[in-house]
Every structure is written in C-alpha cells, then in structure tokens.
Structure 1
Amino acid sequence: MLKFLLKKNIRVYAAVISMLMTLSFCKYAATGTEKRDETSRPSVTYSNPYFKGTMEERFSQVEKISKLFGVECDHCHNEELTVFTENGEISKKMMAASVALGVDCDYCHIDGKRYTEKENQARNMFELSETMAVECNFCHMGKEKLTSRGLQAKTAFLTRDWATKGSKQCLECHIEKKQFALNFYGWQVLNAMKGLKGM
C-alpha cells in the first residue's frame, strides 16, 4: 500500500512540476510578443557589405536610404528584422550591385520613382546579369575598375554595339546562363580577334 501511495504522489508531483514549467514557458514566450518601444533599435544584425562602420554609422546609412526612397523599415523588413519582404529581396540585389560598382543608391536613384541618367545603363546591366546568370561583381570591382572578365566584356560591348542592342546581342556569341561560355560563333569571333591582335 505504501508503494502504491508513493507512486501516486510521484505522479502528482510530476504533473504539478510539468504544469508549472509549461506556465513559466508560456509567460516567457508571451513577454517577447509585447509591442516594442518605437525608439529602440532591433538587436538583430546582418552581414551586409553595403553597410560599413559602427552600428550607429550603419543605422545612419539605413536612415539615408529610407529617406531617399521615402519608405519605412517595414518596406523591406518584418518587425523583428528576420524576414525580408519582396522589396527587401530586390534591395539586397541593388546593394550588391552598389558594392560591386563602389557607388551609393543615389548614383541611379533620385527617389523611389525617379532615376538619374544611369537608369537605362543599369537596367541593361541587370538584364545582362540575369541573362548570363552572374552577379555584378563578376565584371565590376569598383566605380571605374573591372575584373579581367569585365575588361573582355567591355571590348565585346564596344565592338558589338551592346549599348543600343542590349543583352540579346550577347547571346549571338554566348551560351545563355553559362557564366559567359562561348558558343561556336563566339569562339570564331574570339579566335579572329586574337589573330588580329597577333596572339
């Protein structure tokens, strides 16, 4: 009988302890859902090559961008800064381009709806990077600096009238989405150029 009572008491104690643990966990979880003070900054940080410097300097850069585009943080982020919106995903690509070119957003953007004279060139470049499945830093490494592949591309742009004909012109010589691999015609053009240069 004593063993039976001990077993029964142990079960009761275990049930009480598990209920207390559940309640304390619920209380702990609920404290995270309270509305955040509007003046406080989120503690989450991300590795982003566009933003440089201390936390204060980075926050200043974010404020500059939001002011330029006339948007709030929730335009690109959820409240906890753990998920990017569709606009945030676009912004990440734009920031990667900015880093590759060594420029700020206002190099191409006047505001959220207006652009500088660089707009057409930027649109052509984004189409090209999508067509060829590469990032901007495949060719660019600063405002006026190009990678070796970027220098080759620049030569092709000049000889193939890319500025007016755009990315589709590139596919005459290149295989689509193959990191600029050449097709048969492209190899012929390259070999002819090497012959002209005495290579």
Structure 2
Amino acid sequence: MMLSNILKRGLLSTNPWTSVLRYASTSGQHTVLVVLYEGGEAGKKNKNILGCVENALGLREWIKQNKLENNLKLVVTSDKQGENCMAEKILPEASVVISQPFWPCYLDQTRIDKAKKLQLAITAGVGSDHVNLEAACKRGITVAEISGSNVVSVAEHVVMQILALVRNFIPAYKVRKVVSRAYTEGDATKGHAQN
C-alpha cells in the first residue's frame, strides 16, 4: 500500500504516536513491542535519554497520560537476536513494533510471517531499511518513521566537521600526542615522536 493511500485512509498521521493512539482506540488489547538499547546507569539517572530500555521513549508515561493501560500492553526489551530472544517470543502477539535505526529489530520475511497481528512498524528515528517493505506492504502493515527527527544533530555534526577541517584539528591532535612524549632538560628537548 502506498504511503499516500495510507494517509488518505487515515491509518497513519504524520505523527506515529497518533497512529498508535488510533490503533489503541480499537477494541481489545494491543501489544506494543519496543526494542531499544540498554541505557544502564546513565539511562536510570537521566530521563532525557529517551531511546533506552529504562526510559522507553517516554511511552510508559504517554500510556498513563492517555489512560490506555487497558488497551496497550507495553513490552520493552533490548533482547532482539537469536531464536529464543524476547523479540521473537513477543512478535506473534505484537500489533506494533517500535525500534531504532541504530538498534533495529529487523523485520524480515520470516519475522513478518511470524507476527500475525502486526499492523504498525515504527522506526523511532529515520530510515526503514531494517523492514522488508515488500513483505510489509503485502500484509498491509504500516511502516512509519519520525522524519526529520535527526535534523539538528546532523546539522551539528556537519558544522563540527567543517570546524575540524578549517581549524586543522586532526593534525593538531597528533602533534599533542608527540609533545606529550617529549621533555626538556636544560635548553634541549628530548624524547621521540611516534605515530
């Protein structure tokens, strides 16, 4: 199904969370499988690190705010590889799968066949190359991403790369390594340079 047809039919808004809300408003309970990386201590201490298991993209709070506890069963895991991983166990009951571009839950033909209830696959970021789009299309599964979510970080990266080139940062860094191995004795500098 073409994205334009999906939008016309009202199955997907430009905001994927609105799409989840639409699915949640239908009868029955829907399982949302969220595959994220482990944030460890940093994730526990900093609630702004949304993309980790500990903070679950803010979905736990969002579900409570929208009073969807009876409609959505949220399963958050980092375990995504191997036949006995958590993602494989939950896929058959999942209506929605959310993962990230840098910690993707690959939805290949086999996994899509296994996920009989799957209606929506969201990338919490940009890109959908970890989803077999042809198989998803045949099954009528909506595939969405958060377009433009990385605009600021990409711009920052480009500006820093420009500064690194203009200010000759890399060669200057190498000089720092050489200088750190040198020492002075009287008027003479001794030591040696290694690359």
The structure whose residues are more often strand, as a share, is 2
**Structure of higher CA gyration radius:** 1
- Do they superpose with TM above 0.5? no
Bigger relative contact order (CA 8 A; separation at least 6): 2
Taking structure 1 as the reference length, the TM-score comes to 0.20
Taking structure 2 as the reference length, the TM-score comes to 0.20
The structure whose residues are more often helix, as a share, is 1
